[in-house]
């Protein structure tokens, strides 16, 4: 029989197998109903009442979650509650009910769907995943308008794998997880709530499996391989045995890696590397810390802007930053200022259509052109700095003037806070991302103005090699092991050190095990990687010698092609850490 294997995205590692429970798609019945003019007020009242009931439900869920799971998860519902309190959105819906004379559920549904579509169409996965928050709120309000109760999950006492089209945040959180072996969903990305939940429960999870619901039947059994992001439907006993072995190997390996989680990150010959985590949403902090991150080396702040209908206020931002900073204190959190643009556009304010968005109005350019938006964020970051250790990082700096201007706005903001007697860390470290080739060339001048550099290979590679990071047609050209890139990295680190500042890396290359020995040998001071990569990279660093890594880097610098460099590094890795570059771990 042909092996029925479906591929998705790996969302939480581990391997499990068992029977399944399928949750059907949660259909809302929305009719396009015309309302008699006399009943319009009644319709608006129905909407307001439903919003109020939903608000109370959400407050109750939030309070329960705060008590039982923790305030970090409860904060998801704060976002939902705030969304419901958005006056501009509410007035727009009321006006639409009045002007179109359509029913409250119909208008509310369409307005929410519109926002949901904007988020779903984003290329950024974590923004796409936030569409589910909108959907969650939409369903609750519609049910309360229509007076129907939410879908129920009926589980027996048997252990099962949960299979569904998607799981909203409130469903994911209020689920009885006792008998769940793992999660599999048709929709969703690595930052969806089901993925985050699975990681925090340490249960295997695969998301984003195309046509899953069509291909699976209620009496199927499944294997979830959360490491490779695939599931096997009705495996034969031979395949079952094979996966049992993978599972045993993986678990042994996990135990081994866990032993190093709390060790300081130092090589065998005593070179210290700061190993931190990149996060995109606050819910990721906990798993980053528990997987041994020293601090947060890149906090991407875009989600705050992209998941709100309005520009986030200083207070909203301050609270988000403060929560993270307090959790990580006394260790540092590097907060990167708004890096919107390129492919991260959703809000109408930031929506000019451009021929070349990656070469257009993005990131620091938008902030410098909108000093009020920029200052609001800087105030929030500075205020959060008095609750732990914060560092500010400016993205996409391509010239000296840009850095000076950004620093000048920061200075003005700090002076104003001082006058208002609002506390902040006046010695806050300032850094720039080195992700545009021009910044590499003028690194010497930039270094004189800042406390650190963080190399953003994701952009640096696309701008240097002229290969769009999101275009699959040129993905074979987009390679961080190209000699041009590793020479640039060498030059950035050397220039930084000459000017006595530390140099880190927060692009994806930092979390790629094949590159670790090379980066160590080039004398990098800090690596910031996605939380799942932390232990792998740490194991390599703890068991390597800086002196040997330097020789490896020297050899790489002599090679002429990315293929040669990659093969050489793979060979060196296979000699030292064969378990880390197999497919399963």
Q: Which of 554, 507, 513, 548 is nearest to 528 (CA)?
A: 507
Give the residues across from 232 on adjacent strands.
Answer: 5, 223
Residue 133 near which of ligand PEP, Mg ion, none (CB within 5-8 Å, type-dependent): none
CB of 433 to ligand PEP, least distance (A): 7
Residue 66 near which of Mg ion, ligand PEP, none (CB within 5-8 Å, type-dependent): none
Task: Please indicate whether residue 193 is annotated as part of the active site.
Answer: yes
Residue with smaller CB distance to ligand PEP, 160 or 439: 439
Binding to ligand PEP in span 289-308, by CB under 6 A: 298, 300
d(CA 324, CA 329): 9
Task: Please indicate whether residue 253 is annotated as part of the active site.
Answer: no
Under the criterion CB under 6 A, does residue 362 sit at the interface with ligand PEP? no
Contact of 503 with 491, CB cutoff 8 Å = no
Residue 541 near which of Mg ion, ligand PEP, none (CB within 5-8 Å, type-dependent): none
d(CA 503, CA 451): 9
Residue with smaller CB distance to ligand PEP, 429 or 459: 459
Strands 4-7 and 230-233: antiparallel
567 Cβ contact list (under 8 Å, min separation 6):
none
Kindly tell me which residue out of 456, 496, 511, 513 binds ligand PEP, with binding defined by CB under 6 A.
Answer: 456
Q: What ranges make up the beta strands (E) of 307-463?
A: 332-336, 389-394, 429-434, 452-455
Under the criterion CB under 6 A, does residue 458 sit at the interface with ligand PEP? yes
Binding site for Mg ion (CB under 5 A): 435, 456, 459
Residue 292 near which of Mg ion, ligand PEP, none (CB within 5-8 Å, type-dependent): none
Under the criterion CB under 6 A, does residue 435 sit at the interface with ligand PEP? yes
Options 146-154, 156-164, 304-312, 454-462: segment touching ligand PEP (CB under 6 A): 454-462
Residue with smaller CB distance to ligand PEP, 257 or 506: 506
CB of 400 to Mg ion, least distance (A): 19
Q: Which residue has the tokens 């995943």?
A: 129
CB of 568 to ligand PEP, least distance (A): 24
Residue with smaller CB distance to ligand PEP, 132 or 527: 527
Contact of 104 with 86, CB cutoff 8 Å = no
Residue with smaller CB distance to ligand PEP, 204 or 504: 504
Element (H, E) at 71: helix 71-84
Annotated catalytic residue, options 164, 193, 205, 367: 193
Annotated catalytic residue, options 164, 205, 265, 506: 506
Residue 537 near which of ligand PEP, Mg ion, none (CB within 5-8 Å, type-dependent): none
Q: Which of 474, 481, 445 is nearest to 566 (CA)?
A: 481
Q: Tally the C-alpha atoms within 13 A of residue 167's C-alpha that lie toward its C-beta.
A: 29
> In the complex, which residue's CB is closest to Mg ion?
459
Residue with smaller CB distance to Mg ion, 23 or 505: 505
d(CA 460, CA 563): 19
- Would you call 188 helix, strand, or coil by DSSP? coil
Structure tokens, 501: 């500042």
Under the criterion CB under 6 A, does residue 506 sit at the interface with ligand PEP? yes
CB of 321 to Mg ion, least distance (A): 20
Residue with smaller CB distance to ligand PEP, 165 or 358: 358
**For 153, phi and psi rounded to 5 degrees?**
-105, 120
Residue 381 to residues 19, 393, 423, Cα–Cα distance (Å): 48, 11, 11
Neighbours of 359 (CB within 10 A): 10
Active-site positions?
Answer: 193, 506
Interface residues with ligand PEP (CB under 6 A) are: 298, 300, 339, 435, 456-459, 506-507
């Amino acid at each position: 029989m042909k092996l029925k294997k479906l591929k998705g995205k790996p969302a939480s590692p581990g391997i499990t197998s068992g029977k399944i429970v399928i949750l059907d798609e949660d259909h809302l019945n929305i009719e396009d109903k015309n309302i008699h003019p006399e009943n319009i007020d009644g319709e608006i009242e129905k909407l307001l009442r439903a919003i109020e009931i939903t608000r109370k439900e959400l407050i109750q869920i939030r309070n329960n979650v705060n008590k039982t799971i923790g305030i970090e998860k409860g904060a998801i519902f704060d976002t939902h509650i705030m969304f419901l309190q958005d006056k501009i959105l509410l007035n727009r819906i009321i006006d639409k009910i009045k002007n179109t004379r359509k029913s409250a559920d119909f208008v509310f549904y369409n307005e929410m769907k519109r926002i949901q579509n904007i988020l779903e169409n984003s290329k950024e996965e974590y923004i796409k995943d936030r569409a589910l928050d909108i959907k969650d709120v939409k369903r609750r309000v519609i049910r309360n308008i229509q007076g129907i109760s939410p879908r129920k999950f009926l589980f027996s006492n048997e252990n099962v794998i949960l299979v569904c089209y998607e799981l909203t945040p409130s469903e994911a959180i209020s689920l009885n997880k006792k008998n769940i072996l793992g999660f599999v969903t048709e929709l969703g990305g690595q930052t969806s709530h089901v993925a985050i939940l699975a990681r925090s429960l340490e249960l295997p999870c695969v998301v984003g499996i195309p046509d899953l619901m069509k291909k699976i039947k209620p009496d199927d059994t499944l294997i979830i391989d959360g490491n490779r992001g695939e599931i096997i439907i009705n495996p034969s006993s031979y395949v079952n045995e094979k996966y049992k072995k993978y599972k045993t190997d993986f678990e042994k390996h996990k135990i081994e890696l866990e032993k190093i989680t709390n060790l300081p990150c130092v090589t065998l010959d005593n070179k210290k590397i700061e190993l931190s985590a990149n996060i995109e949403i606050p819910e990721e902090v906990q798993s980053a810390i528990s997987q041994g991150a020293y601090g947060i080396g890149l906090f991407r702040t875009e989600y705050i802007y992209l998941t709100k209908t309005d520009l986030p206020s200083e207070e909203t931002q301050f609270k988000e930053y403060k929560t993270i900073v307090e959790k990580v204190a006394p260790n540092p959190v590097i907060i990167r200022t708004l890096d919107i643009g390129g492919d991260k556009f959703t809000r109408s304010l930031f929506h000019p259509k451009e021929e070349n968005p990656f070469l257009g109005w993005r990131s620091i350019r938008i902030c410098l052109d909108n000093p009020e938006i920029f200052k609001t964020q800087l105030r929030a970051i500075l205020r959060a700095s008095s609750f732990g250790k914060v560092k500010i990082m400016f993205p996409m700096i391509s010239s000296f003037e840009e850095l000076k201007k950004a620093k000048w706005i920061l200075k003005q903001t700090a002076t104003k806070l001082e006058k208002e007697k609002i506390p902040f860390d006046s010695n806050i470290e300032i850094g720039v991302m080195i992700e545009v080739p021009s910044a590499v060339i003028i690194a010497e001048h930039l270094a004189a103005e800042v406390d650190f550099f963080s190399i953003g290979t994701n952009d640096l590679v696309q701008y240097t090699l002229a290969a769009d990071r999101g275009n699959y047609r040129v993905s074979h050209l987009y390679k961080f092991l190209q000699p041009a890139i590793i020479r640039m990295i060498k030059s950035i680190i050397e220039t930084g050190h000459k000017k006595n500042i530390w140099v880190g890396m927060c692009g994806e290359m930092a979390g790629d095990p094949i590159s670790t020995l090379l980066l160590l040998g080039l004398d990098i001071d800090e690596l910031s990687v996605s939380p799942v990569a932390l232990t792998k990279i740490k194991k390599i660093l703890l068991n390597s010698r800086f002196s040997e890594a330097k020789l490896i880097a020297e050899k790489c610098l002599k090679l002429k092609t990315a293929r040669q460099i990659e093969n050489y590094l793979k060979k060196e890795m296979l000699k030292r850490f064969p378990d880390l570059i197999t497919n399963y771990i």
